[in-house]
Amino acid sequence: MSQTKTNLRMIDIGTITPLDFGANGDGTSNDAATLQLALDSTSNSVLDLAGKTYAFESALTITRSNLIIKNGTLKFTGTNAGEFDLVSVNGSVGSTNYTPSADLKVGSNEIDLPGGTVMSAFSVDTYLVIQGTVEIYDGTVHSTTTKQAEIVKVRKVDTTNTKLFLYSPLKGNYKTTEVDVHILTPRENITFENVTFEGKGVTEYEIGASAISTNSGNTTINVVLPGTGLGISGSVLFLGDIGSTAIGGVAAATLSESELAVTGSSEGGGNTTVNATFVGSNASSNASGGDATSKAYYGGNEGIKLNGCANVTIKDCTFKKLQNDIEAYYTHNLEIKNNKFVGFNGPIGRGIYIRQAVTTVFIEENKFLGNHNYGVYAYDPAGLPKDIYIKGNYFSGIRDAAAYVYIVNSLTFVNNKVENSPILTSDKTGAIHSGLRYYGFELTCTDNEFTGFGKCGVYWEPRYKAINTASTQSAYSGGHNNNVYSDVAAGQTWSYPSAVIANNRLKGRAGDTSLSSKGIEIVPKTINFGIWGCSLTQNLISTIGTGISIDASTGSPSGISTNIRGLKITDNQIFGERNSGGSTGLAVGIHFKGGSGSDVMQRGIIANNIIQSYSPGYGVTNQQVDPLIQLGASGSNYVAGNEGIINSNSLYGGTYSIFTGGGSVPSLKYGIVIGNMFSSHSNETNATYAYGPLNSGSDPIGVASGTNAPAIDSAIQNITGGIVNNFYSDSYTGG
């Protein structure tokens, strides 16, 4: 009786290992060919790596669906140190464009196609990629290069009426004249579980003062790196700490802290000379330069690249020695959960890179433990992604932002912990490090902890068109239309961006030469109409220069609106601090900043906040602390807060408790200031700086310390409503 070799397939027909195809799994032998055979096999649904380490020297590709890969290590040992994908999963997008016969609208689950369309191309569960130009602010108002995109799934095909019905409603608006609809054939139901992905790593070099040289008349530079056999071809080069002096007429800022494309290299004398290109004007001469502390970074492979996928889960995995750990294009329903991102990803590294047409991403309970420039980076002007959920993650050692999310329809950022940390020497004094940077439509940011940021804890800059007319549509909303409830206006939903930023703890980076960071900053750059409906509540903000900044000072190009209406700032605790001896730490509790007349607090309310500003020079000449609530960029202008309410706040310190700016038009027209406590204004020993508690125009309302009952009467030109029952402690009585 003959014997047959026993393997896992004989025990469980659904499970195989690379060992069945001749892999060694010893961590050194090149198992690329046998790994690829295992990935290509159609006799299984589970590829079990059996706890072993598989070295490989060429890319691995998955071109099938319904596969689980688990329990082992995939270690790249090839020579390519550039942006090389260890494992890629590839579907395909069809070339045929099915142009709809009618505009596609937010909230609709129907796509109308022209008569004569070959409907047999579609079936139940067909995936579609929808992509069209978008009405946003991105350098220009109507962008032809920036597009939004999403992936949808067909529920029903109506052949008679040439109509497709979708499982879920559309997340964006698309003009029929500017939209493409293509069929996506994805790789579905792919799971990576308990797999370690290991690349070649990002290399950091101390290159010294003269390793960078320019070439006259073009935009190429040469950088000398120690060592040979670097495998840098196809990589990008990043230079840091190169000093402030221009090299060959090229500003240092042009070369520093940018991704420079590597175009070639040569070896000699034990070194590698790298040729790279920069974006900017041609060099004016051949020259060399840099700084004694100049650094160069290159290399770093990519772990998993998804391109044309659906229902992908990446869980319990470890990513190390990579530049970008996970990168996704054209992917629907992506879950990234309970993974570890470790090691040094460098000053340009990204943990999770969300790109073109990715729709619905869940990023939950992951640990980012290495140095990343971004933990999550979501941006692709070829097709802005949709619906991103980031919950319960731990981001440590983040250089720029835990999450940088560009113009998407919705972001949820909840219950995350973020610790910013410098990588470059210049990071320690530069205005870098943010917890969250977001440029999209709707934001929910609650129950997070942000520490160590030098620029801003939470930054929101919405950019989109916020009105719908016969000729234009907003990106993610319906229009401001009197017929909003009619059948004709179906899909015209709430047309303004909104945010909830609540229950967060934000602590800036201590020890800087200037405490100029901001806890929360909102910078509206919308088209035609601004923000309406924004709630900032129950946040604890400390070690910052400005607690909450509402910056409407940028209103260009024409058509950009900086209006904010219905703003609610309540129940926050803000502890600001001005740097000793300088004027750069603003120490403003809540600052409404804008050009004269900017409408950023209309029908808003500031209530039940505790705000304290502190200066090491408290009580010393010329060391006053700035206003606690400031309505205007300076004493020469103002912002409009018509029908606003400032109620029941406890304000401690500050040159003024409330500063209304110097405009001739009322800042709080028809507004009311009621029931507030104004306490211990700064520098009580120095009458010159002891103004308070209110300011109107260029003259303070109130008198120097030591005088009771500051005047509150018709002289208050910028508050034409009521000032009722406010209280003044220390040197002040009455009210």
| Together in a domain, 277 and 291 | yes
Count how many residues are written for the chain: 735
Burial of 704 (0-12, 13-18, 19+ CB in 10 A): middle
| Together in a domain, 227 and 261 | yes
DSSP-derived pairing of the beta strands 694-696 and 212-214: unpaired
Task: Please check whether residue 19 lies inside any domain of the structure.
Answer: yes
What tokens does 60 get?
């691995």
CA distance 576 to 625: 9
Place of tokens 């018509």: 642
What tokens does 616 get?
């090491």
Identify the pLDDT of residue 329.
97
| Together in a domain, 41 and 122 | no
Identify the pLDDT of residue 655.
65
DSSP-derived pairing of the beta strands 163-166 and 110-112: antiparallel
Place of tokens 């004569």: 116
Task: Please check whether residue 138 lies inside any domain of the structure.
Answer: yes
CA distance 472 to 592: 31
Task: Please check whether residue 26 lies inside any domain of the structure.
Answer: yes
Q: Per DSSP, what are the bridge partners of residue 26?
A: 53
Q: For residue range 239-277, what is the model confidence (pLDDT) as tens digits?
A: 888 887 889 898 888 888 777 888 888 889 888 898 989
| Together in a domain, 22 and 35 | yes
Query: Sign of the C-alpha dihedral, residues 40, 43, 44, 48?
Result: negative
Q: What residues of the chain score a pLDDT lower than 50?
A: 1-12, 141, 468-472, 478-493, 513, 581-585, 617-624, 682-721, 730-735
- At which of 46, 64, 90 does a domain end? 90
CA distance 90 to 187: 7
| Together in a domain, 217 and 267 | yes
| Together in a domain, 163 and 210 | no
| Together in a domain, 53 and 71 | yes
| Together in a domain, 216 and 291 | yes
CA distance 665 to 651: 25
| Together in a domain, 239 and 278 | yes
Task: Please check whether residue 713 lies inside any domain of the structure.
Answer: no
Q: Per DSSP, what are the bridge partners of residue 352?
A: 326, 376
| Together in a domain, 243 and 270 | yes
Task: Please check whether residue 22 lies inside any domain of the structure.
Answer: yes
CATH of the domain at 241: 2.40.30.20
Identify the pLDDT of residue 732.
35
Phi, psi of 559 (to 5 degrees): 105, -15
| Together in a domain, 82 and 132 | no
Task: Please check whether residue 492 lies inside any domain of the structure.
Answer: no
Indicate the number of domains in the chain: 3
Task: Please check whether residue 240 lies inside any domain of the structure.
Answer: yes
Residue 37, CA atoms < 13 Å, CB-side half-sphere: 12
Q: Which H/E stretch holds residue 236?
A: strand 236-240
Q: Per DSSP, what are the bridge partners of residue 174?
A: 104
CA distance 68 to 88: 14
- At which of 263, 279, 299 does a domain end? 299
The answer to whether 111 and 159 are in contact (CB under 8 A) is no
CA distance 320 to 341: 6
- Whole-structure pTM value: 0.88
Supply the DSSP symbol for 8.
H
The answer to whether 124 and 454 are in contact (CB under 8 A) is no
Residue 62 structural domain: 8-90
Task: Please check whether residue 260 lies inside any domain of the structure.
Answer: yes
| Together in a domain, 62 and 118 | no
653: nearest Cα among 701, 605, 689: 689
Identify the pLDDT of residue 184.
98
The answer to whether 417 and 398 are in contact (CB under 8 A) is no
351: nearest Cα among 381, 385, 328: 328
- At which of 299, 332, 360 does a domain end? 299
Identify the pLDDT of residue 137.
60
